[in-house]
Amino acid sequence: MDIDNPGTALDRSGHPNPVPRIVGKIRRRHAVEVGDLKFLRAHTERRIKMTVPGPFTMSQQAQNDFYKSDEEAAMDYAVAVNEEIRDLFAAGADIVQIDEPYMQARPEKARVYGLKALNRALEGVKGATAVHICFGYAA
């Protein structure tokens, strides 16, 4: 991901925004939220829910300058999200929520590959999960 030379993508309300550019194969280099989970776990005995961005939504919030299709990018995002979810459960999360607001905002693309990417992100995951799809407050 190139965050120093941003590209452009339309947000959920149709306005252009600066976004990271995909310039190579998407892969997860390290855990992103596990440190936050461990901090929270050290300070509560209550159930913990962590949230992660969904692979479909991330594919819509980046400029794709590498993959042949947004679907291909979403599927590699899904692999990275799957690894993060597994690490969150291993570190003590009770629930992991995947946020996918762009499935509502881009229903045509979501019908083609959104569910496929979401299922890949959840493949082999052991633990309670939830999917959050927002309906319109961005507009």
State residue 13's pLDDT score.
79
CA distance 94 to 12: 30
When pLDDT is averaged across residues 80-88 and rounded to a whole number, the result is: 98
* Residue 137: pLDDT over 80: no
Closest C-alpha among 64, 60, 71 to residue 103? 60
State residue 90's pLDDT score.
96
State residue 9's pLDDT score.
93
* Residue 136: pLDDT over 70: no
Per-residue CA distances from 47 to 40, 44, 50, 51, 99 (Å): 10, 8, 10, 13, 19
Per-residue CA distances from 136 to 25, 81, 120, 132 (Å): 32, 25, 26, 13
Q: What is the pTM for the complete model shown?
A: 0.92
pLDDT band at 139 (very low <50, low <70, confident <90, very high): low
State residue 5's pLDDT score.
96
CA 60, 61, 63 angle in degrees (round to 5)? 85
When pLDDT is averaged across residues 14-42 and rounded to a whole number, the result is: 95
pLDDT band at 49 (very low <50, low <70, confident <90, very high): very high
